[in-house]
Amino acid sequence: MIDLDGLEVGGYSLGGFASCLDVPSLKLAVDVGVCIDRVVSRNFILITHAHADHLGALVQHAAQRGLRRMKPATYFLPPGIQDEVEAYLTCWRKLDGGALLANLVTLSPGETYPLRADLSIRPFRTRHRVVSQGYLMERSKKRLADQYQGLSGDEIRELREQGVDVGTTTTSLALAVTGDTRLDAVLSQPEVLSAERLVLECTFMDDAIDVEGARSRGHVHLYEIAEAAEAGLFTGKALLLNHVSPRHSKAEALNQMKKHLPSDVLARTQLMLGAVN
Ligand SMILES: [Zn+2]
């Protein structure tokens, strides 16, 4: 697993081949381009877009849940594709003969959906070759309100018994995951950049495909990330680059990161390429 400032992520990531980002502590995964054993138990799958390397294993995920007698997972979709995903499932049900149960939920950028009392998700706009979105994950924590700090346990219990709400709720954007996108769409959203941890696609990393080439394909180039990093735009605690093109080896990718990212950002940046268990 990769430790993003106290939040572990794993799964699989190779641009154009397969993406599945597992976030065990939030009990969810982003995209299901490949069905990984540990992700079968995730009840919530957040789909960034419908390219095959991000959505292609949804059927396998649903089938595995059925075989293991688990309740259907909820798959969150960007707007406008639910009918097609339903049709794809209908087609597979005929081929497979299984129930392939799936709870499909369309969620639009800006809408908040509570997954649990302490966790909600909110899609944000991205810009790719098909309809797409990233996801913000907001955690909330209840703690003793400032005005009751310093009171003894007995005093607090007494206040509670009198029906006083001694708690206050603080929220934090624990994680943002872009999925496939052009970088300009991400940089124009301060809320996304303010997340404590950012998982950012970085498909191209050298001169073979230049910045314009990356943009025209709806992807991010490392040189653009370096420029934004120089400008101080990545203020979070941790940055994870994923979705690297198979044209780059892991050693090459790490080398390019070292060569181009400013040292303060490099120190907070990690790479996810291939399988991470
Ligand atoms: Zn894509």
Kindly tell me the burial class for residue 200, based on how many C-beta atoms sit within 10 Å of its own C-beta (0-12, 13-18, 19 or more).
Answer: buried
The Å distance, Cα 8 to ligand 1 centre, comes to 24
Chain CA centroid to CA 9, Å: 10
The Å distance, Cα 51 to ligand 1 centre, comes to 5
For residue 71, what pLDDT is reported? 97
For residue 137, what pLDDT is reported? 98
pLDDT at 20 over 90: yes
Q: What is the CATH number of domain 2-276?
A: 3.60.15.10
Contact 276, 235 (CB under 8 A): no
The Å distance, Cα 95 to ligand 1 centre, comes to 26
Question: For strand 167-177 and strand 197-201, is the pairing parallel, antiparallel, or unpaired?
Answer: parallel
The Å distance, Cα 181 to ligand 1 centre, comes to 8
For residue 143, what pLDDT is reported? 86
Chain CA centroid to CA 6, Å: 16
In whole numbers, what is the pLDDT of the chain averaged over residues? 96
What's the mean pLDDT in 52-74?
A: 97
For residue 82, the SS3 value is helix
What's the mean pLDDT in 116-128?
A: 97
pLDDT at 142 over 90: no
Burial call 88-113: b when 16+ CB within 10 Å, e when fewer:
bbeebeeeeeeebebebebbebeeeb
The Å distance, Cα 237 to ligand 1 centre, comes to 26
Residue 174 region, left (φ>0) first, then alpha (ψ -120 to 50), else beta?
alpha
Task: Give kind and range of the element (H or E) at residue 11.
Answer: strand 7-14
The Å distance, Cα 165 to ligand 1 centre, comes to 47
The Å distance, Cα 32 to ligand 1 centre, comes to 12
Percent of the chain with pLDDT over 70: 100
What's the mean pLDDT in 69-73?
A: 97
pTM of the model: 0.93
